[in-house]
Structure formats: C-alpha cells, structure tokens
Amino acid sequence: MMAIPREKVLDNTITMLSEGYNYIPNRRRRFQSNIFQTRLLGQKAICIGGEEAAEVFYDDEKFTRKGAVPNRIKESLFGKNGVHVQEGAAHRHRKGMFMSLMTSDRISELMAITEKQWEVAIADWHQKRRIVLFPEVEKIMCRIACEWAGVPLWANELNQRTRDLSAMIDSFGAVGPRHWQGRTARNRSERWIRTIIEQVRDGKRYPREDTALYTMAWHRDLQGRLLDLQTAAVELLNIVRPIVAVGRYVTFGALAINDFPETKKKLQEGDKEYTRIFVQEVRRYYPFGPFLGAKVQNNFNWGGHKFKKGILVLLDVYGTNRDPDLWDQPDEFRPERFKEWGGSPFDFIPQGGGDYDIGHRCPGEWITVDIMSVSLAFLAKRIDYKVPKQNLNFSMVRIPSIPKSRFIMRDVISQ
C-alpha cells in the first residue's frame, strides 16, 4: 500500500475557512495527487477528487453519510433526521418518496408555474427603476416552490418566508452571525411547516394527492408508521428550500450573460438545447457547494491506499467540476463543451454524483436544470435591461458565494 500524502499540521480548519472553495483543489495541485490527508475540526480527514474518487465515494458499501454531516449544518441547512442522513433500506424508501414527485406531469406543471411566476414578476419590475436580481429571484423561487409543493403562502408572509429559506441556504458554510441566523430561520420555518402538516392530518386542509405536502404528511416508514410531525416538516422543507436555492444559480446565469455577451445572442437565437447546455456550464463554472462528506463504513483499499472504518472523507465537488483531467480548458466558460458530454454521473457533480433513484445524488437536480432554463430564457429573451456599474465580483472564500452587488439591473422593459 502507498502512503497517502499528508499535511503536517495540528489542525487545518482555519486554513480551510480562509481558502474556501480552493482549499482541496490547491492541495491536489500541490501534492499532484487526487488524495491527501489533513486534520479538520480536530479529526483526521482524507480529501479526494476527480471522477474515480467520486465513483468510490458513492459506493454505499464503502461509505456512510451517518455521522458525517456536522450538527451545525443539520441545525441550519438540512434539518435533523432528513433523507440526507438515512442509510440502506431506510434511505432507499425515503428517497423513493422524493422520486415519486418527479413524474413528467408534475415536472411539466412545475415549468408552467415557473413561467407564470416570471410573468408576474416582470410585470412588477416594469414599475421599478432599479432591481436587485438575487433577492427578487429568491422570492420568485419561493412562490414557485410553495405553489408546486401545495404549501399555502400568503402575500403578506412572502418576504419573511423567503428571507428564512435564504438564510438557511446562506448558513451552510458560515460561522458566527450568518450561521445563527440560519438556525433561527430553520426553527421558524419548521414551526410554519409543522402547523400546515398538522392541519392536513387533522382534516383542516386538503392538498392535492400528487403534491409534496400531501406526500410528506401521509408518508409511512418501513414499519408502516407515519413520519413524526417534525421529520415530515424537515422533508417538506427539503423540497421547498432547494428550489429557493436555484435563485443563486439563476443569478450566476445572469452574471454569465453579462460577462460573456456572445452567449446572450446565442440564447436569444438558439433552441432549447443551447439553453440547456448554457445552464449546465453555469452549474459547472460558478461556485456553489465546495465539497461533500462521508465516513468510511468498512475497511477497504482504493488506488493503492488504505481507508479505515470511521475516517471522515471529503469529496472535492468544486475541483472535480474544474478538473483539467476531465474538462478541456476548465477555467473558460464554454457551454458548447456539453454538446459532447457523455453524461457521466461522476465527472460533473454540482449537486452530487451517483444514482438518482437509490443513491445520495440530489433527486431535484433535473428540475434545477429545468427551472434555470425557463428563468434564463426569460432574462435573455423576454426582457431588456441595463447593468449599471457595480461590484460583480464573487468571493471564493465566502460559502456559498454570490456576486457582491447581488446583480443590479436598471430600466427593465419587455422585448
């Protein structure tokens, strides 16, 4: 067995926070290796990256997510006892609940809702001289998510619900005030959703049977028991929250249209296929999730290295999507690269890798692509606007990242 390249430090947590998305890629380059060992949060950790690394990372016989997600992330982003931390038969059963919502009819309805909500928003934007895109898009996504999921959302609570869902997303790589805001927002959101699910179970509210609200309210576990109220609320938020998170990708898409103006003409003149490959390149090129964690479930050997049970392993998500061994000129924004992409489940992993149906890959990845496609088509084809001078830089240390100005638009008019 070969020794794993090792950082000789007592703990590298502060360095990881100071380097952000580039922490693992920097060391992969330094060691000229897709694997290295470090210490984070007082424990030994092995960092891996690349297509082969992603493939082994999603082998459920080798890795478990149990105990790998820090409590601070469960308490702000994911919630406790959700699908993300289930394993084995329990995970497959819970994942099946989510996949049951991803039928062609329901996705078609989601796209119709997305178009409708963009029409409503654009009509409102005409009355305003200045729009800050990111918070506006998050509100659009909140309305889309709640309508599709069957969750009632009153006009006077839209801003609060959007702020809370946004704070949960914004907290996952944060320390200090941003993290605590996310925890407070999660607690408030879980109370909101628990009340709604309780109303369904008490016969005071009757959602459509094909909605996420109905599905989560009446889902039974492998022992035939209804999910407890808290877990049902966590899982319903795991439908609503990720759709709101699409607003971050849409904002980066607007930045791409601005930074690479030749793509706007192609979006305006091109077909749905060009829009789709543009969306995929946005997801590859811009930072969102830096890495994912799991723990070794059983001792095994990989790549000439030993992995011992219980060791924390981090998969380099950002670096794999920018890996020069996988992507030609990865630091260039070129949507056309996806024309010939083979669709590997392990070389392009912005929302995780592996199998959708039974693995830990995000079940909503393709609705992310569809929502982005509709949204960016609106920005490119349906409206015209000016982009005033502003700070459009985005941090590679702040996780999750977003343009500093949140993308300001002026003088929005319909085309």
Q: Each residue of 136-180: pLDDT tens digit?
A: 999 999 999 999 999 999 999 999 999 999 999 999 877 789 889
Tell which residue, 182, 187, 161, has the closest CA to residue 172: 182
pTM of the model: 0.93
Q: What angle do CA 236, 242, 245 make, to 5 degrees?
A: 145
Taking 70 as the pLDDT cut, the residues of the chain under it are 1, 72, 74-77, 82-87, 354-364
pLDDT at 250: 98
pLDDT at 2: 81
Which tens digit of pLDDT belongs to each residue from 280-298?
999 999 999 999 999 999 9
pLDDT at 365: 83
pLDDT at 360: 46
List of residues 6+ apart from 380 with CB closer than 8 A? 257, 264, 267, 268
**Is the distance from CB of 409 to CB of 133 less than 8 angstroms?**
yes
Give, in words, the CATH class of 13-414. Answer: mainly alpha
pLDDT at 90: 78
Separation of alpha carbons 16 and 24, rounded Å: 8
pLDDT at 355: 58
Taking the mean position of all CA atoms in its chain, how far away is CA 215?
A: 22
Tell the residue number behind the tokens 């009355």, with chain if given.
127
In the chain, the N- to C-terminal Cα span, in Å, equals 63
Taking the mean position of all CA atoms in its chain, how far away is CA 414?
A: 30
pLDDT at 357: 47
Tell me whether strands 291-296 and 312-316 are parallel, antiparallel or unpaired: antiparallel
Tell the residue number behind the tokens 């006077």, with chain if given.
156
Separation of alpha carbons 330 and 254, rounded Å: 20
